A and B are shown apart, each in its own frame.
Chain A
């Protein structure tokens, strides 16, 4: 018996069905996990749904959680399109959060107009993320060092830098128990009264659409896509391959850094170790689920925003912790891969008959 794979002609319906199917089946498998943990899946998912979509506040909170996923996944998709895999969104996100916090703290101590402080510290976050990522870009472009290795290592480096800063230069003298920075006074404006949804969400949406435009309508995007699908042809066509590699990683890092800065200015208002919970890794799955297409990623990040938010309610209703959401994420990843094969290929089981 052998399995035979044949590439199928893919329509838009296939592409839309694929992520939904993966998510659906992952949730079904998640219910098995719930049964195993002695939780009634119906109760569990009811609380999950009410937590993520149950009302005005819940929906806006889901959008709030969607924001960092959206920014980071769009960035990751951009570098994926150039054939460079950025596994370092987590570290770039932390560096962005650090830079934004430090800049905002410094500028507010100097006493500048809060709007200016806000703008400059957002830019500082994006710049820090871009610089952090372009280290891997330079090493890949000029020394042919694998970017996956470099970005992963630099995630740890970023985490350690943050931990040191929180115990040193950025330490809040008033906090005794938890290492944290002094509070950041400037805040992103809330766009819907009575909720926590801030302007960062709109910014992320705009950036996603802008990235879509850059990727598919401009010369830069064209060059990125040529490089990503055939590096030899890129060299043959005289494209600035090295610059493109550095640029696409820097762009990717800028979006992750921006996500970090926005989380500080819109949600946390101070820097602490708890901001490093692996959002950057989840975003890799979100970009995959969105098929490296910024518009698709708007949809996939919403799913992860829901999961993240829904689990908070799930936890209070059933006692399942956030590790459950991590498990569901992993399941989505596995089923996405599986259905990619099942949907994009015709798979036949050929039973071999012995010749008479």
Chain B
């Protein structure tokens, strides 16, 4: 293969207050290759790409595209220089159609737009790439996999020479991922150069021609695909030997039923029926995994059990008690904890310091308030000593990296915010923990740590409802796994009973288990 560089980034430095996010990085991308940038969260992958895409200005360093020095002040410059980027999070306008989204921001179109012609063009364009879409569909109707396709189409429609894919598989099913990889290979054959950002080893090994490993803003390794080997890559990424899989040992005996759900129905945010008659049981000391592509009712299930969402039908029993109508506070006091997927939106108050966030779900506990006669409890001074002790204990036991317990939570990294939430919820010694995507977006060290904590909790007889889109996480931690599709449980199994293809087919709605067979798992 002829190594002809299309992009060279030289000596790039990007500093943020207190950290050097990208530290003298050199990067070369050859024409027609897939270059994977591998690294933990916070390693500087996205920052580096944002510099390339013009979203951030580098403090030092130079960028050359086809030996021409460029300087990107905004994505407009980057697009003009032939760079397309698909971001980690969707940037589509939900209420517009696919074609409207694709031409959004394109200068070629004036005030009057011939939508029919454009739609035809887009259909042809997609067909050439082997992607089947209907350009007239509104984006909100699409699944995550389809949205991803639209994002890629949108980037490609601007005819780039370089395509950046930032963690493109985080919301995809195994099948969707396969299809994405197929498309990437095809694009590569057409001569496109691709930068593929990921922290998932197996994906990188599947798709990359060359792998650059970043750690703490520095390039720590650059390998060709055939030189790479999982253990070596993981070591480079984390900087030490890591345990790749935490394995839960099933308990010899599981105890009484902690949570029972009967025929639960609930509406989603758009008024659609998001839960369509979900029934299940969790016993003490048991981890029940919920598998499924996100958006199939998992979030609504978690919120309904926790009391944030009112069910329209069905019953929830906790320790034999009907809690269908109980408030969130009641459920917290009964011993239900919830680690929400959207950490910053639900789990913490970013503008408040860590120590106040440490008692967010302990507000009803008497120990946080000083005793004072006559004055009603809600007007007594809070016991700062006790609260600060909660926080400092949390920081030390859950290895939260923070300047102090008074630091505002929004200044912490994602992994440390999650450590605060997980620590807070586990320290309350719950009887049931609902953990929704507890390790999503976290680096290997934090992921491993949180998984260990979940197992520790299970060994202390807590029941855990583990909702995750990471199948290997579910398979290694759960005692039983239920698969959700379109608001229903379409399958249930114990790890090892089903192979990955069957799971994928059920997750994408191609296959369904008989109701009677599923019910056996709740017996």
Contacts and interface: CB of A to CB of B under 8 A. Distances in A.
B378 A219 contact: yes
A355 B71 contact: yes
A222 B368 CA distance: 12
Contacts of A2: 73-74
B61 interface: no
A230 B356 CA distance: 13
Given A9-B17, A238-B328, A355-B70, A233 B382 contact: no
Contacts of B369: 219
A198 interface: no
A229 B379 CA distance: 20
A350 interface: yes
A143 interface: no
A217 B352 CA distance: 14
Contacts of A352: 73
B126 to A, nearest CB: 33
Q: How large is the interface on B (under 10, 10 to 19, 20 to 34, 35 or more residues)?
A: 35 or more
A229 B352 CA distance: 8
A153 B347 CA distance: 36
Interface in B35-55: none
Nearest to A8: B17
Interface string B286-316: 0000000000000000000011100000000
Given A238-B327, A355-B71, A226 B360 contact: yes
Contact of B360 (A213, A220, A233, A355): A233
A321 interface: no
Contacts of A223: 363
Interface string A229-244: 1101101111110000
A195 to B, nearest CB: 34
Interface in B326-366: 327-332, 338, 340, 345-352, 356, 360-361, 363-364
Contacts of B360: 226, 233, 236-237
A230 B71 contact: no
B255 interface: no
Contact of B382 (A222, A239, A240, A355): A222
Contacts of B340: 236
A219 B382 contact: yes
The residue among B70, B307, B352, B368 with the most chain A CB atoms within 10 A of its own CB is B352
A215 B378 CA distance: 11
A218 interface: yes
A238 B361 contact: yes
A222 B327 contact: no
Contacts of B306: 236
Contacts of A230: 345, 348-351
Contact of A218 (B17, B330, B382): B382
A214 interface: yes
A9 B411 CA distance: 11
Contacts of A171: none
The residue among A226, A238, A350, A353 with the most chain B CB atoms within 10 A of its own CB is A238
A238 B351 contact: no
B349 A239 contact: no
A225 interface: yes
Contacts of B221: none
Contacts of A219: 363, 368-369, 377-380, 382
B381 interface: yes
A236 B351 contact: no
A229 B348 CA distance: 10
Contacts of B377: 219
B347 A233 contact: yes
Q: How large is the interface on A (under 10, 10 to 19, 20 to 34, 35 or more residues)?
A: 20 to 34
Given A220-B378, A232-B346, A239 B73 contact: no
Contact of B379 (A220, A232, A236, A238): A220
Interface in B371-388: 377-382
Contact of B329 (A222, A232, A238): A238
A350 B54 CA distance: 14
A219 B377 CA distance: 8
A198 B519 CA distance: 76
A222 B379 contact: no
Contacts of B361: 236-238
B382 A229 contact: no
Interface string B60-77: 000000000111011000
Interface in A226-275: 226, 229-230, 232-233, 235-240
Interface string A1-27: 010000001000000000000000000
B353 to A, nearest CB: 11
A236 B308 contact: yes
Given A218-B378, A219-B378, A238 B348 contact: no
A222 to B, nearest CB: 7
A222 B69 CA distance: 54
Nearest to B80: A355
The residue among A9, A225, A226, A233 with the most chain B CB atoms within 10 A of its own CB is A233
Contacts of B71: 353, 355
Interface in A175-228: 213-214, 217-220, 222-223, 225-226
A250 B306 CA distance: 30
Contacts of A222: 356, 363, 382
Contacts of A220: 378-379
Contacts of B328: 235-238
A112 to B, nearest CB: 28
Nearest to A219: B378
Contacts of B331: 238
23 contacts: A2-B73, A213-B381, A217-B382, A218-B380, A219-B380, A220-B378, A220-B379, A222-B356, A226-B360, A230-B348, A230-B349, A233-B348, A233-B349, A235-B308, A235-B328, A236-B306, A236-B361, A237-B363, A238-B307, A238-B331, A238-B332, A353-B71, A355-B70
Interface of B: 17, 69-71, 73-74, 306-308, 327-332, 338, 340, 345-352, 356, 360-361, 363-364, 368-369, 377-382
**Which 9 pairs, one residue from A and one from B, show the smallest C-beta to C-beta distance?**
A238-B329, A238-B328, A229-B351, A236-B346, A230-B349, A220-B378, A237-B360, A217-B381, A238-B332
Given A2-B73, A229-B350, 8 more contacts: A2-B74, A218-B378, A226-B360, A236-B346, A237-B361, A238-B329, A238-B363, A352-B73
